[in-house]
Amino acid sequence: MVTVDITCDLMDEDETGYVWTFLHEARDPSLIEPGALVVAGDEDAPAIAEVIDIVEKPAGKIVHLRILPGVIEDYEALITRAVTSAS
Amino acid sequence: MGQVERQELRPILRAESVPADGIVVVRGGPTSLARVLSHAQRTHDAFVLDGQPIWGISVFCALDDLGGASLDSLLRRFASYRVVHLPRVSDLREAGFELLPTFGRPHYTVTLSGPDRAEALLAALGKAEPNPYHERRPGRR
């Protein structure tokens, strides 16, 4: 089970070319700041994403996300390998 | 309570002809009625078209045989989806849905006249199929 930091549709891109969603979709908005790595999407399709920016738009605060390549298990494997190698 | 302002989509639409009926549409899955409604609501909360409320969900069309707008490239790009819906443009059109060429090619917004059309859109998207790029990858041990 994956805990998603910010819910979004991974296909929702806007004029910036980044995925967008509302800041109020974040589980904990304090986690969402430019440069942060977060889990975005939903439980069925989570992805690692970099927060690019938070912009004020007429409808509310919009978060832009750069979805990193691959699937979340790739990152899990990377961390496991790195931690195991270091010990 | 005042009306919430939303971003106008018209200036953002790409000037290009509508995709041919045989073009494959990529939509990440699994999709459910709740998901279609949720995504369509987010679009509704952020955008208008010609000043009017709009409901819609994002899709990508496999417009080219090679490159970033090819089916293979899109499936790889959306590897986070273990399954995808791959209807043809004609499947959506015949069910009464339009594809707006929004933002960067090959992104489109499938528009609904309202949330009551979500179930019909879900049916038009068809059965979800495995995404071949959501699988064990090199370097994952």
- Judged by DSSP in three states, B54 sits in coil
Pick from B35, B78, B80: CB nearest A46: B80
**Mean pLDDT to the nearest integer, A75-85:** 88
Q: What φ, ψ does residue B121 adopt, rounded to 5°?
A: -65, -45
The residues, any chain, with a CB within 8 Å of residue B80's CB and separated by 6 or more, are A10, A41, A45, A46, A47, A67, A71, A72, B28, B134
**Among the listed residues B117, B110, B103, B113, the one whose alpha carbon sits nearest the alpha carbon of residue B88:** B110
Contact B46 A46 (CB under 8 A): no
pLDDT digits (tens, 9 = 90+) for B8-64: 999 999 999 889 999 999 999 999 999 999 999 999 999 999 999 999 999 999 999
pLDDT band at B135 (very low <50, low <70, confident <90, very high): confident
In-domain check, residue A1: no
Q: How confident is the model at residue B136 (pLDDT cuts 50, 70, 90)?
A: low
Q: With a CB-CB cutoff of 8 Å, which residues 70-129 of chain B face chain A? A: 78-82, 103-104, 107
Is residue A24 a part of any domain in this protein? yes
Whole-angstrom distance, CA of residue B120 vs CA of residue B116 = 8
pLDDT band at B3 (very low <50, low <70, confident <90, very high): low
Of the candidates A44, A70, A78, which has its C-beta nearest B79's C-beta? Answer: A70
- Whole-number pLDDT of residue B37: 97
The tens digit of pLDDT for each residue in A37-53 reads 999 999 999 999 999 99
Is residue A16 pLDDT above 60, yes or no? yes
Residue B12 contacts A where some CB pair is shorter than 8 Å = yes
Please, which pLDDT band fits residue A70 given cuts at 50, 70 and 90?
Answer: confident
Please state the rounded mean pLDDT for residues B82-101.
97
The C-alpha atoms of residue B37 and residue A9 are separated, in whole angstroms, by 12
Query: Taking the domains of chain B in order of start, what are their residue ranges?
Result: 22-130
pLDDT for A58: 83
Res. B2: pLDDT tops 70: no
Tokens representing residue B123 in the block? 């049916």
Is A42 a domain residue?
yes
**Rg, Å, chain B Cα set:** 16
**Residues of chain A contacting B82 with CB distance shorter than 8 Å:** 44-45
Taking only residues 13 to 72 of chain B, the set having a beta carbon closer than 8 angstroms to any beta carbon of chain A reads 27-30, 35, 39, 42-43, 45-46, 57-60
Q: What is the mean pLDDT of chain B?
A: 93
Domain extent at residue A40: 6-86
The ipTM, to two decimals, is 0.91
Phi and psi for B33 in degrees, rounded to 5? -60, -40
For chain B, how many residues are written? 141
What pLDDT score does B1 carry? Answer: 43
d(CA A9, CA B25): 16
In a domain, A36, yes or no: yes
Structure tokens at B92: 């959506």
- Cβ–Cβ pairs < 8 A, chains A and B: 79
Please report, rounded to a whole number, the percentage of residues in chain A having pLDDT higher than 90: 76
Q: Which of A4-13, A67-76, B63-72 has the lowest mean pLDDT?
A: A67-76
